[in-house]
Amino acid sequence: MVAFFDTIGRFSEFAGQVLWALPGLARRPALVARQLVHVIAGTAGLIAFVGASLGLVTWMHLATILGQFDSEALLPSLLMLAVVVEVGPALVGVIAAGRLGSGLAAELAAMQTGEQVDALRCLGFDPIKRLVAPRVAACLIALPLFTILIDYAALLGSYFAEASSGRLTWSQYAHASLDLLGPIEAILAVAKTAVFGLFVGWIGCWLGLNAERSTTAIGQAATRAVVWSTLAVLAGNVVLVRLIQWISGNIP
């Protein structure tokens, strides 16, 4: 129990140091840009594919269900409401936990094992500012962008299925998809994924920097990052959904 609270305390201190270091990155934008390009290049294709698949499959299910009640006209708006408000952000958070969380943990664990982190400290550099903060900032920026990407990919994927039925043109379908979706809901849904980015960045970097110096440490850090980042995203999503409902006045 003592070890648990000690870990919580050290992680909280680490998270606070990272937040404190983030504004200073404005003087070193190249550090963030390098990490952001790396994150986007390695994940954007996967996000787009998942979004298109999500839109296509969701359209198939909704078309079957709504067709039983002669309510096919509601399909575009219901689909985009579900994707934009909840399914898209949650999927982005989980994908980021698996793809980015493991990558951050493995990368920093390798640097820790190879004593590169110690070398930075000996040269007078703060690892939090040089290694961790740019990676966390990249996650914070990238996840909202990925959420927008998955939403548009889902819209295109669902229209591909809609086009096979020949009921609506692209302009009609795109316009109908916004009938139930308010701008505030969409903005808040995208914004909450920035919090997911913080969780993924914090946990991945923390586990990487605190990895043991052994041959198995890198794999262990990556595995733990996936597990704990996913749990943090899912638990945080519950809290954020309730908070968004409170802000928008939609608490049931």
Read off the pLDDT of residues 212-224 as tens digits, 9 standing for 90 and up.
888 788 999 999 9
CA distance 92 to 80: 15
Whether the CA torsion 70, 157, 85, 103 is positive or negative: it is positive
Answer yes or no: is 211 within a domain: yes
Answer yes or no: is 10 within a domain: no
CA distance 22 to 161: 43
How many domains would you assign to the chain?
Answer: 1
Answer yes or no: is 2 within a domain: no
Q: What is the pLDDT of residues 15-25, one digit of tens each?
A: 999 999 999 99
Report, as ranges of residue numbers, the positions in the chain whose pLDDT lies below 50.
none
Residue 54's pLDDT is 96
| Residue whose tokens read 């390695």 | 42
Answer yes or no: is 24 within a domain: no
Which residue pairs from 68-76 have beta carbons closer than 8 angstroms and sit at least 24 positions apart in sequence? 72/167, 73/176, 75/162, 76/158, 76/162, 76/168, 76/173, 76/174, 76/176, 76/177, 76/179
Domain range enclosing 62: 30-248
Answer yes or no: is 35 within a domain: yes
- Average pLDDT over the chain reads 91
Distances (CA, A) of 76 to 53, 139, 159: 15, 31, 9
Answer yes or no: is 22 within a domain: no
Q: Is 43 exposed, middle or buried (0-12, 13-18, 19+ CB in 10 A)?
A: buried
Answer yes or no: is 227 within a domain: yes
Answer yes or no: is 15 within a domain: no
Residue 251's pLDDT is 64
Q: Which amino acid is at 236?
A: G
Residue 252's pLDDT is 63
Largest CA distance in the chain: 70
**88-96 and 29-67 helices, crossing angle to 10°:** 130
Distances (CA, A) of 31 to 99, 107, 225, 226: 20, 16, 23, 24
